[in-house]
Amino acid sequence: CNLTGWWKNDLGSKMQVLKVGNDGTFSGEYHTAVSSAKNPIQPSPLVGSQHLDEDGQCTFGFTVNWKKFSDSTAVFVGQCFNGDDGKEVLHTSWLLREKVDSEPNDWKATR
């Protein structure tokens, strides 16, 4: 699986991976289409790592820092699959951590 390039999800968010290094590390930008932040959405930096497999169905993970418009950070993990139509498709799960004002409010900080 070649993560380099543009990817789009079913909610309209887009991710651009600029280059995957020989060690599997990569960086890029995430353009989310959904947010509960009060500030206007802006493209956000991402950094990650890909497990390079011979069969092309690799696992990967990346972190997005929403610092340009929010006090939150998200992590994504996933796997690339070769679809029936020959196109590569990514399946991911994510966690989002929002900043809270105190430790007692920690329970509501992660989605």
Domain membership of residue 43 as a residue range: 5-105
Evaluate whether residue 111 is within a structural domain: no
Phi–psi pair at 8, nearest 5 degrees: -130, 140
Evaluate whether residue 99 is within a structural domain: yes
The three-state secondary structure class of 24 is coil
CATH number of the domain that 13 lies in? Answer: 2.40.128.30
Give how many domains the chain has, as a whole number: 1
Evaluate whether residue 24 is within a structural domain: yes
Q: Which tokens in the block code for residue 44? A: 């956000």
Tens of pLDDT along the chain (111 residues)? 889 999 999 999 999 999 999 999 999 999 988 877 777 788 999 999 999 877 777 999 999 999 888 889 999 999 999 888 888 899 999 999 999 999 999 999 998
Evaluate whether residue 25 is within a structural domain: yes
Evaluate whether residue 110 is within a structural domain: no
